[in-house]
Structure 1
């Protein structure tokens, strides 16, 4: 079924689920602000037009968001001169950088539950003002109509940015984080300011209705001084082309580990499937939040394609003078060269659960000439952690290279196992492995690869070898 038909089915599904869920009354706490919900009934009655509001979170109010508007700016300016006992002064600090979170399309009109989690992760990492843009009313239900309004949302945000500038904020101090369609909203804000905004981070920027769009109508590197993007669902809801100075394509940018493959065109009638099919799309957000914790580095390797990356043809970051870009808050993603290259595709492999980061290894296997095709399963083991990769061996090739990932460093791997998994009658019964070598990349220490020579792997008799506890030979 064509992707356009899938989009139509998804729209029909969202209407159906909204009717099932029914009217959800919007509730707001007496003290803490929150994002809105939009209901299908309100949408049908056109009771709400495009509305944009802002929530402020800082280290002083991480757990209790504050509404932010022009009056808040006035309070910020006056609060040092007079303290109002009946009205809480704004926590906004013009001397600190400001991070602006822009959510994307809301299928059922429900507020994004992850906004405050992302804000807290940002605030734990740096002392900034976090402004969450709430445009749920305009972002819900009919995707094609939402896309028609996204530029108007950007215009309204730009008005606030202009006001903040008048109070002392500098354009280069703003960092926009746009999720899905929110990435293109952030991009148009950048266009309105001639690309002088400090940074835009796009988390799986939306693909439908944007893949063939002009750069004026979508996010591109000219929208900010630095634009970085994370792609995790480029075959469905995300965009497949580079949109930033650096674009991280996780696991190729499509199917993410731990996200089950769905038959979603045929099962859209079931309500639970929505969370099922957006797993890939939302992985960019979860990986980014995990990267903010700083528990491990998530490094991207520049390469012309994912296929070349998996074949071990891209092992260094020479285009960046040796410093590989990383996901997170490092200035320019850690790039030190100037000017920063544009539309650089970066690839990395991840695990299926937080913290998602993994080490990259080049596996090189050399075998004696084969009479028949064969298949070898390679397994790396560390404690209860296992990484498996199958290699199909042909009669006309003797050297094979492939990239695989494992959560720990090379010297921490416990064992390696080779297994001949070929069929009994149609594949090679015994494989003579001249050498198998494993090396980690990118490697600052330039470690020598770990190699084993002269191995015979018979069908039904796997070969394995344990590592020593320190880095060295097998």
Structure 2
């Protein structure tokens, strides 16, 4: 299956590339450096492995400079690299079309706005282009070349634990192998949807895993196709279950690549991890994960806090030290789940709906609708059975609990299940993470008829419940 996807992607790349204008290498201006682009001829014959490094700091946020180990000892170059500052190392992944990644500058600048650091961008576009299985053969050699540069930086005063690698897709496994070469002593690795094909069944020596750094985290957004489906870090964030992302079903690529409409869908999911991480750097709203055995259990309201696993402090996507995790020792391959929206800043409020039902004579289906002024309604259908009396569901809300105006219940299964009136002992809503049972807002003794929905309006004041 992985090879089939690689073949389809390669064919698509040829069609798209052939329809574009074949050019020469992108030549950087004298003032600013840029990542590479392969020519059509190079792409067709398989790119050579060639690695260069670009450096951005707060003194040159808009104008990258080419960086090498010689830059450190050459007084004529006056490199802005500061060994007393932490360093962020960005590593892109497979380049299906042989083009430079467009998101790198945005990510680099986001990191610089958030912290005063050195940002090193690893440009291996030439070696990352062509057929995926051929590109995978290059990733360890790229890691070896990066390790040589890191060793040189250490001799000039940098601390190994001050390096934070941010690897995208295949770049996550490059980062992991760099960590392996340094015995897991580098400070941090963030894997943004680490590549899945040819890696899911690989030995931990050959892929990203928690032993590669003092702290390893991963964000999963396409684990059913291009991303890996297994946890690979100390903590693994699975956004919307790690698969289908909100707003990706109708990708802009789908309307352009009419013969391969699913391509845009796959890439949208895969790249969502990058855009969510960039958004998290702004720290405009928390992207908080909840530990849970599975996504289904999370959606069914079985995991409402972080008390047992993280002693009450839920991990967050972003630059908080160890993602905000304070427990020691660190967890190992801990899966955490969260819902996100379709566009930046992607964060939502997790609203838990709890329905306690009197004994049912027959199975039923109830639609729950939450409303807040000026925002689309949130809907979820719950199937109820005769053997259970408590039902829970987690819903994504654009507003906090205190701004939800009403809840509506509708007996949508009355015809199919021939269910009569339903009696609810209580209908409660609360916001996660929930610290106390009293955080819930409840309505008691609710009767839901077969043909008439029930609704209740809330008048809540933020901070008063």
Q: TM-score, normalised by structure 1?
A: 0.91
1:395 aligned residue: 386
1:221 aligned residue: 210
**Deviation per residue, 1:3-48 (Å, 9 max, x gap):** 54333322222222222224133332331110011133223346x5
Once the two structures are overlaid, the 10-residue window that deviates more, 396-405 or 295-304, is 396-405
Once the two structures are overlaid, the 10-residue window that deviates more, 355-364 or 17-26, is 17-26
Select which of 345, 352, 356 maps to 2:342: 352
Select which of 152, 165, 183 maps to 1:176: 165
1:38 aligned residue: 38
Q: CA 1:473 to 1:153, structure 2 compared with 1: closer, same or farther past 3 Å?
A: closer
Q: Assess if the C-alpha contact under 8 Å between 1:55 and 1:133 holds in 2.
A: yes
Select which of 135, 141, 150 maps to 1:146: 135
**Deviation per residue, 1:89-111 (Å, 9 max, x gap):** 21111110000000000000010
RMSD: 2.3
Please state whether the residue corresponding to 1:278 is helix, strand or coil: helix
Once the two structures are overlaid, the 10-residue window that deviates more, 99-108 or 367-376, is 367-376
Query: Structure 1 residue 336 and structure 2 residue 335: aligned?
Result: no
Q: Which runs of 5+ in 1 are unaligned?
A: 79-83
Structure 2 distance, partners of 1:467, 1:269, is 47
Q: CA 1:242 to 1:168, structure 2 compared with 1: closer, same or farther past 3 Å?
A: same
2:15 aligned residue: 16
Q: Assess if the C-alpha contact under 8 Å between 1:17 and 1:271 holds in 2.
A: no
Q: Assess if the C-alpha contact under 8 Å between 1:413 and 1:467 holds in 2.
A: yes
1:188-199 alignment, distance < 5 Å: 188-199=177-188
Q: CA 1:362 to 1:273, structure 2 compared with 1: closer, same or farther past 3 Å?
A: closer
Alpha-carbon distance, 1:458 to partner? 2.7
2:439 aligned residue: 448
Alpha-carbon distance, 1:397 to partner? 2.8
Structure 2 distance, partners of 1:397, 1:167, is 65
Q: Assess if the C-alpha contact under 8 Å between 2:226 and 2:266 holds in 1.
A: no
Q: Assess if the C-alpha contact under 8 Å between 2:154 and 2:160 holds in 1.
A: yes
Q: CA 1:110 to 1:445, structure 2 compared with 1: closer, same or farther past 3 Å?
A: same
Q: CA 1:323 to 1:344, structure 2 compared with 1: closer, same or farther past 3 Å?
A: same
2:228 aligned residue: 239
1:103 aligned residue: 92
Please state whether the residue corresponding to 2:312 is helix, strand or coil: coil
Structure 1 distance, partners of 2:61, 2:211, is 32
Alpha-carbon distance, 1:143 to partner? 0.2
2:126 aligned residue: 137
Q: Assess if the C-alpha contact under 8 Å between 1:221 and 1:343 holds in 2.
A: yes
Q: Number of matched residues?
A: 460
Please state whether the residue corresponding to 1:7 is helix, strand or coil: helix
Structure 2 distance, partners of 1:271, 1:371, is 49
Q: TM-score, normalised by structure 2?
A: 0.93
Q: Assess if the C-alpha contact under 8 Å between 2:6 and 2:132 holds in 1.
A: no
Query: Structure 1 residue 254 and structure 2 residue 243: aligned?
Result: yes
Q: Which runs of 5+ in 2 are unaligned?
A: none
Please state whether the residue corresponding to 1:60 is helix, strand or coil: coil
Please state whether the residue corresponding to 2:137 is helix, strand or coil: helix
Q: Assess if the C-alpha contact under 8 Å between 1:379 and 1:417 holds in 2.
A: yes
